[in-house]
């Protein structure tokens, strides 16, 4: 049985880890970009960021003062048992958010959209966002927090089948150029591209692609994997580096996620996860132990299932029979 | 690994910044500051310039550096404040306040994210002997947080909240910042942007035309964009 109090403590801990410690995959990705960056200003920026991440970890201080919009992704195993129910988990995540905002400290960014009033704790109506997913056969709960910036670097466009891959490239270039100038997208970033679904799911898929997959990860569909690399190269060929200075450091990696969509359309979303790519995951095991990591492992075969059944379902049914 | 940044000149400035020090700043130099820096953004600008409240007494004498920043700060039980990360917010949004604010406060250095609209360098900053420094990255929140040694004063915390309040920081080796603009009104962002722009057209060469056009490509809302 997983206790509700343990869920809150794990959520509190990943809030701190996400804000302070840069994930290893992203750090290594940036170090690799410094080696090939020919623009002096852009290279200086990246080197300063590496020093900044070291200072953050040493001082246990947030790597960036705009600590973004904290949010959660929760994956619950079919066989997980826990106290407090699902609303108990949501309450625990809201409480952890409020406590961590004061203790880390995080910037209380969340305000009412109209009245600009706030509780100084990053909690409010529909905040923090909590997205749920499920995993067959598992008996654990994974909680991931992402602190993504909220203003620049993401966009949505309804394309059509006739636009094809060229249309996706045009949209990606438009977005990276528009938000890359002066570095508003805080590049080089992990770029997530959502293709298909309905409009809302298209945005969700692109954001998850940017925030929940690590540098170097490839989509299991080999043709989509090739497109990921092609779009990454395209972004890095713009001639723009960190802060919009002359250079080549725009895209650390590109991740694409797809969803079946209306036969007449091809909605596309683009998301840039900034130079402070804050993500951290906790796994609460059935015996109550907690382990921490930076790879959310969000996109499982179950998440990308294509028909009614999924690869491991037969085995799952046989075992429970 | 190469040694990036080895070609960039480094400068240390004591605050309040003297006119001759500001005049000597070159585009693309890396700057570290020691002295007093205050934060102000739209909340403070609105309070003073629109609502007509007085500036905190002694502010203009204490500091001539305006940082476009909302610190990650938390009040402590003993009445002090813990400052975690410190980074800038995008400055171009504050353009409409800039001239009046510089006149009211005699501010000579503006620090922020991403620079100002192009005309502001020649029309607003340079005529007042003021320059713009940009934060690096964005942002080096932990490095800048290290540079903040103490909160000297905080004003309008109750009225404006943590993010919008006016914070007066004692700073030491506070940086890095990059010199964006000089007293002649030149801007590094403008120069670099021009250079990047030269390569943009060829990126789109060979891509077929979109199936659907959009407002934004045309300013005329009577046009059909299909």
Which pLDDT belongs to residue A298? Answer: 98
Averaged pLDDT, A172-176: 97
- Who's near A207: CB < 8 A, 6+ residues apart? A148, A154, A192, A194, A269, A271
CA-nearest residue to B176 within chain A is A48
Averaged pLDDT, A285-314: 91
Domains of chain B: 10-188 (3.20.130.10)
Question: What sign does the CA torsion over A288, A293, A296, A300 have?
Answer: negative
pLDDT tens by residue, B55-88: 999 999 999 999 999 887 788 888 888 888 888 9
Averaged pLDDT, A167-173: 97
Put simply, the answer to whether B161 touches A46 (Cβ < 8 Å) is no
Which pLDDT belongs to residue A150? Answer: 82
Least confident of A15-29, A106-120, A217-231: A106-120
Q: At A179, is the pLDDT very low, low, confident or very high (cuts 50, 70, 90)?
A: very high
DSSP string of B195-206? HHHTTHHHHHTT
Residue A320 has pLDDT above 50, yes or no: no
Put simply, the answer to whether B115 touches A182 (Cβ < 8 Å) is yes
Averaged pLDDT, B101-108: 98
Which pLDDT belongs to residue B3? Answer: 54
Range 77-116 of B in CB contact (< 8 A) with A? 82, 84-87, 89-90, 113-115
Q: What percent of chain B has pLDDT over 90?
A: 77
Which residues on A lie below 8 Å from B73 (Cβ)? 105
A:B CB pairs within 8 Å = 195
Q: At A231, is the pLDDT very low, low, confident or very high (cuts 50, 70, 90)?
A: very high
In a mutational test of the A interface, the residue from B46, B112, B141 whose CB has the highest number of chain A CBs within 10 Å is B141
Q: Is the CB of residue B212 less than 8 Å away from at least one CB of chain A?
A: yes
**Segment A289-296 long-range contacts (CB within 8 Å, at least 24 positions apart):** A290/A6, A290/A9, A290/A10, A290/A13, A292/A13, A292/A14, A292/A17, A294/A21, A294/A23, A294/A24, A294/A25, A294/A214, A295/A23, A295/A25, A295/A214, A296/A73, A296/A142, A296/A144, A296/A212, A296/A213
Averaged pLDDT, A218-243: 98
Residue B206 has pLDDT above 50, yes or no: yes
The beta-carbon neighbor of B142 closest among A55, A169, A275 is A55
Q: CA of A68, closest CA in chain B: separation in Å?
A: 11
CA dihedral A257→A262→A265→A268, nearest 10 degrees, is: -20
Put simply, the answer to whether A56 touches B195 (Cβ < 8 Å) is no
Residue A268 has pLDDT above 90, yes or no: yes
Averaged pLDDT, A228-237: 98
Residue A314 has pLDDT above 60, yes or no: no
Which pLDDT belongs to residue B226? Answer: 64
Mean per-residue pLDDT over chain A, rounded:
94
Neighbours of B76 (CB within 10 A): 9
pLDDT tens by residue, A141-167: 999 999 998 888 999 999 999 999 999
Residue A311 has pLDDT above 90, yes or no: no
Q: At B1, is the pLDDT very low, low, confident or very high (cuts 50, 70, 90)?
A: very low
DSSP string of A3-59? -HHHHHHHHHHHHHHHHHPPPHHHHHHHHHHHHH---HHHHHHHHHHHHHHHHHHHH
Put simply, the answer to whether A120 touches B162 (Cβ < 8 Å) is yes
Which pLDDT belongs to residue A250? Answer: 97
Put simply, the answer to whether B141 touches A61 (Cβ < 8 Å) is yes
């Amino acid at each position: 049985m997983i206790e509700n109090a343990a869920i809150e403590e794990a959520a509190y801990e990943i809030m701190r880890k996400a804000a302070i410690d840069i994930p290893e995959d992203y750090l290594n990705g940036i170090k690799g970009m410094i080696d090939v960056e020919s623009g002096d200003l852009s290279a200086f920026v990246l080197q300063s960021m590496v020093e900044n991440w070291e200072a953050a970890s040493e001082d246990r201080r947030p790597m960036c003062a705009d600590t973004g919009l904290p949010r959660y992704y929760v994956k619950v195993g079919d066989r997980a048992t826990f106290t407090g129910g699902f609303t108990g988990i949501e309450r625990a995540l809201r409480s952890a958010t409020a406590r961590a905002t004061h203790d880390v400290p995080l910037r209380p960014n969340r305000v009412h959209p109209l009245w600009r009033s706030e509780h100084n704790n990053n909690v409010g109506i529909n905040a923090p966002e909590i997205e749920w997913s499920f995993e067959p056969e598992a008996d654990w709960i994974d909680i991931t927090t992402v602190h993504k910036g909220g203003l620049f670097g993401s966009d949505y466009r309804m394309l059509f089948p006739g636009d094809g891959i060229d249309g996706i490239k045009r949209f990606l270039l438009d977005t990276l150029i528009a938000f890359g100038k002066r570095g508003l997208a805080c590049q080089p970033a992990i770029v997530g591209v959502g293709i298909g679904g309905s409009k809302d799911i298209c945005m969700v898929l692109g954001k998850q692609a940017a925030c929940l997959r690590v540098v170097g990860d490839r989509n299991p569909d080999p043709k989509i994997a090739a497109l990921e690399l092609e779009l990454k190269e395209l972004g890095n060929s713009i001639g723009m580096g960190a802060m919009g200075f002359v250079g080549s450091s725009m895209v650390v990696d590109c991740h694409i996620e797809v969803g079946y969509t209306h036969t007449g359309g091809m909605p596309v979303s683009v998301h840039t996860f900034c130079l402070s790519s804050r993500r951290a995951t906790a796994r609460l095991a059935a015996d109550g132990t907690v382990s921490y990591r930076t790879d959310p492992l969000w996109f499982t075969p179950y998440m990308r299932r294509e028909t009614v059944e999924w690869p491991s379902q037969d085995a799952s049914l046989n075992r429970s029979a | 690994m190469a040694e990036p940044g080895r070609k960039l000149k480094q400068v240390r400035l004591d605050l309040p910044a003297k006119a001759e020090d500001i005049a000597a700043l070159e585009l693309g130099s890396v700057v570290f500051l020691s002295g007093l820096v205050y934060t102000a953004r739209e909340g403070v600008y609105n309070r003073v310039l629109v609502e007509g409240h007085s500036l905190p007494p002694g502010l203009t004498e204490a500091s001539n550096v305006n940082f476009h920043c909302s610190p990650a700060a938390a009040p402590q039980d003993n009445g002090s404040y813990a400052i975690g990360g410190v980074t800038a917010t995008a400055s171009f949004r504050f353009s409409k306040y800039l001239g009046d604010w510089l006149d009211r406060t005699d501010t000579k250095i503006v620090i922020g994210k991403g620079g100002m609209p192009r005309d502001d360098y020649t029309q607003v900053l340079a005529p007042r002997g003021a320059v713009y420094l940009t934060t690096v990255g964005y942002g080096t929140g932990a490095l800048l947080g290290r540079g903040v040694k103490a909160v000297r004063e905080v004003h309008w915390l109750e009225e404006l909240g943590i993010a919008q309040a006016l914070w007066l920081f004692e700073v030491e080796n506070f940086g890095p910042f990059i010199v964006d603009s000089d007293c002649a009104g030149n801007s590094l962002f403008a120069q670099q942007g021009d250079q990047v722009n030269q390569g943009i057209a060829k990126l789109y060469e060979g891509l077929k035309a979109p199936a659907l056009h959009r407002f934004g490509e045309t300013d005329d809302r009577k046009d059909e964009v299909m």
